[in-house]
Structure 1
Amino acid sequence: MPTVTAQGKTMSCEVGANLRQVLLAHGVDLYNGQAKVINCRSLGTCGTCAVAIEGEVSATNWKDKARRSLPPHDPTRDLRLACQTQVLGEIVVTKYDGFWGQGQTPIW
């Protein structure tokens, strides 16, 4: 089983599990500020679940690429939308500041 390490927690999940669902199920604060209330609930349209990921995950899909190509995101930055990412192996997740997680300062 893959493991996900985020916000000081390590959790197990099935291969192919949706990263957003895994994080929320384990009480990880995925959203910054009011994005906890105002987010697209996994549609891949808001971009507020952007995170940096080290480890094995699914290839970036078109929804992820499209949303992160629009401001305030930078398409050249190595972020992913948790709602559009499947866990394939052991990963470490980092969340940055900013409403959309697009900032430069890690918050966990």
Structure 2
Amino acid sequence: MPKIFVQGHELECDRGANLRQVLMQHGVVLYNGNAQWINCHGIGTCGTCAVQVEGEVSEANWRDRTRRSLPPHTPDRHRRLACQTQVLGDVSVTKFDGFWGQGDTILWKPES
């Protein structure tokens, strides 16, 4: 079973599990500020669940690529939409500041 390293925790999930769903099921606060109430609930249109993911995950689908190509995101950042990402192997997740998680300041990382 793949492991997700996030906020000092090691979570296990099935291969192919949706990253957003696994994080939320384990109480990880994925959204910054009011984005916890104002988000698309996992359909890939808002971009507020953007995180940096290192490890084996699915290729970015068209929703992920399209949303991250629009402001305030930029396609050259190493971010993914958690709601559009499948966990295929062990991964480490980092969250950044900004309403959409588009900032430069780390809010939490795998080990904290």
- TM class by smaller structure: over 0.9
Counterpart of 2:51 in structure 1 is 51
Amino acid of the residue matched to residue 84 of structure 1? Q
* TM-score between the two structures when normalised by the length of structure 2: 0.95
Structure 1 position 74 matched with structure 2 position 74: yes
CA-based RMSD of the aligned residues comes to 0.4
Report SS of the residue matched to 1:34: helix
Moved over 2 A (4+): none
- How far off its partner does 1:9 sit? 1.4
Encode CA deviations 1:52-99: one digit per residue, 9 max, x unaligned.
Answer: 001000000000000000000011111000000000000000000000
* TM-score between the two structures when normalised by the length of structure 1: 0.99
Runs of at least 5 residues in structure 2 that lack an aligned partner in the other structure: none
Amino acid of the residue matched to residue 65 of structure 1? R
Rounded Cα–Cα distance in structure 2 between residues aligned with 1:62 and 1:49: 16
Percent of residue pairs bearing the same amino acid type: 66
Structure 1 position 87 matched with structure 2 position 72: no
Amino acid of the residue matched to residue 49 of structure 2? C
The alignment covers a number of residue pairs equal to 108
- How far off its partner does 1:8 sit? 1.6
